[in-house]
Structure 1
Amino acid sequence: MPLETQHSVPPEQGGNAGSGTRKAAVDRYLTELFSQIDAAPLPDLPSVLISGAVRCGKTKVARRVALRAGFHHLKTDQIRNRTYLNCSENEKRRIAKYVYHRILLQFPKGVLIEGTGIMDAPCELPKWADARGIAFFAIGYSFDTPEAKHRDLLAYRAAQTCWTKNSKSDDEMLRFARRLIRRSTEIKRYCAAQGLPYFDLDSARFDAERDRIMHQIEASLRARHKQQTRPRQQAGILARLQFWR
């Protein structure tokens, strides 16, 4: 799928979620979701998007980051299944844009959304979120051969529960590895062009790589939070100085 940017119009300025009936269903889902998030204790940290290629460890990284920081963890597959699974491609894009914008406008802090759906065409969400102080990170596997990734994929599914075990032969997994590397390369180029962070994960050293990326994401979030809170602190100091004049 192509990776490109598109000017984003927030829903409250003319976004459209399709027909009135479907929009009402989407809004009911969002009301229910917002109630669940409101009931949870949320960290005072910017919300986070984690995306990238399939089978590159992003779910495990996201789960660890969410658990350690206390983020409310949402998955794009679950959001898609509740809102736009059986729609046309054009309607899917409209609804996805509407749903993700509403979630992130409502919760600019405390929520972590993870999944490949974040980077669905036209791939406007990462840049839109980054411009509003919401962190974005991509994970891929672009640096090695298809044979090496094929080896790692087979080793993983031999030891772990994996959806590919019953649906893909070993030969199909090699073709899958080629597509995965190609997709990771596309994502890496997109992130470089947009100035967004991208991590290559070496699945031959999965646990160590997962922890490395997790710690880098956490450090980036702390730095972003510090940067976002500094202007408010400085404004308070200036106000006190003005008062004592």
Structure 2
Amino acid sequence: MTVGTENTQSATPLKAEIDAYLTALFTKVSAAPLPDLPSILISGAVRCGKTKVARRVSLRGGYYHLRTDEIRNQTYLDAPESEKRRIAKYVFRRILLQFPKGVLIEGTGLMDAPCELPVWADRRGIAFFAIGYSFDTPQAKQRDLLAYRAENTCWTKQRKSDEEMLRFARRLIRRSTDIKRYCAAEGLPYFDLDSSRFDAERARIVREIERMVKKRHMEQARAGNLSGLIARLKLWP
């Protein structure tokens, strides 16, 4: 069974269900007051503040906020493992082609292998940002994680011992380092977030994202005005 790309015309049962979900989602998003700003993707390593940053950016900018976990649960969670990447590619591209402006999508699923979506989106004027934690020791990250879950609801509280949290911190740093290298190679923005200063770091990253999105919006507006001017000049006798 093949889902295909945005141009696929096949109609398998699973594709029909996915398209029905997307149609309903598009109707819901279209009914919301969307800002005239480039859509945004926020991804990166787990437990690095992506969701809190995304919520703040979407609230301040008026974006319609979508989470990859929710989209996955509705479209490809129960699909065969061999089809999940194909379905994710189809779903996320459909959403972004429909809403190149006004939507913010956040989650680790945006960077699932083979990690084509960030570059695909960036080339179409959609802003991509990654957040990670690549610069400190596993022990420092473990300390921050334990401090956070001591005062907040956290999925790790019932599932991971302190030793498991240290191993988790090591994996997080390795993953963040890989993401940082990927972003550097592709010319995409990456932010290291110091979780020992979480609130201040979150505010810093929110400001940087807003600044970069505003800059991209202004560049797109200038490019659009220039295209319009050239088109009008061609009509002159």
TM normalised by structure 2 equals: 0.94
Q: Map of 1:1-245 to 2, 5 A cutoff?
A: 10-12=5-7, 14=8, 20-237=12-229
Once residues 169 and 209 of structure 2 are traced to their aligned partners in structure 1, the CA distance between those partners, rounded to angstroms, is 26
Sequence identity percentage: 71
Structure 1 position 87, deviation (Å) = 1.7
Once residues 172 and 149 of structure 1 are traced to their aligned partners in structure 2, the CA distance between those partners, rounded to angstroms, is 12
Compared CA separation, residues 242 and 126, structure 1 to 2 (3 A): closer
- 8 Å CA contact retained: 1:50, 1:136: yes
Once residues 187 and 211 of structure 2 are traced to their aligned partners in structure 1, the CA distance between those partners, rounded to angstroms, is 18
- 8 Å CA contact retained: 1:48, 1:111: yes
Once residues 210 and 118 of structure 1 are traced to their aligned partners in structure 2, the CA distance between those partners, rounded to angstroms, is 20
Q: Secondary structure at the match of 1:162?
A: coil
Task: Return 5+ residue gaps in structure 1 as ranges.
Answer: 1-8
Compared CA separation, residues 95 and 10, structure 1 to 2 (3 A): closer
Q: Secondary structure at the match of 1:196?
A: coil
Q: Tell me the amino acid that sits aligned with residue 182 of structure 1.
A: R
Structure 1 position 58, deviation (Å) = 0.6
Once residues 111 and 57 of structure 1 are traced to their aligned partners in structure 2, the CA distance between those partners, rounded to angstroms, is 19
Once residues 134 and 40 of structure 2 are traced to their aligned partners in structure 1, the CA distance between those partners, rounded to angstroms, is 23
Q: Secondary structure at the match of 1:168?
A: coil
Compared CA separation, residues 243 and 98, structure 1 to 2 (3 A): closer
- 8 Å CA contact retained: 1:15, 1:98: no
Once residues 164 and 26 of structure 1 are traced to their aligned partners in structure 2, the CA distance between those partners, rounded to angstroms, is 31
Task: Return 5+ residue gaps in structure 2 as ranges.
Answer: none
Q: Tell me the amino acid that sits aligned with residue 134 of structure 2.
A: S
- 8 Å CA contact retained: 1:74, 1:113: yes
Structure 1 position 11, deviation (Å) = 1.7
- 8 Å CA contact retained: 1:48, 1:134: yes
Aligned residues: 234
Q: Secondary structure at the match of 2:71?
A: helix
Structure 1 position 90, deviation (Å) = 2.0
Structure 1 position 103, deviation (Å) = 0.2
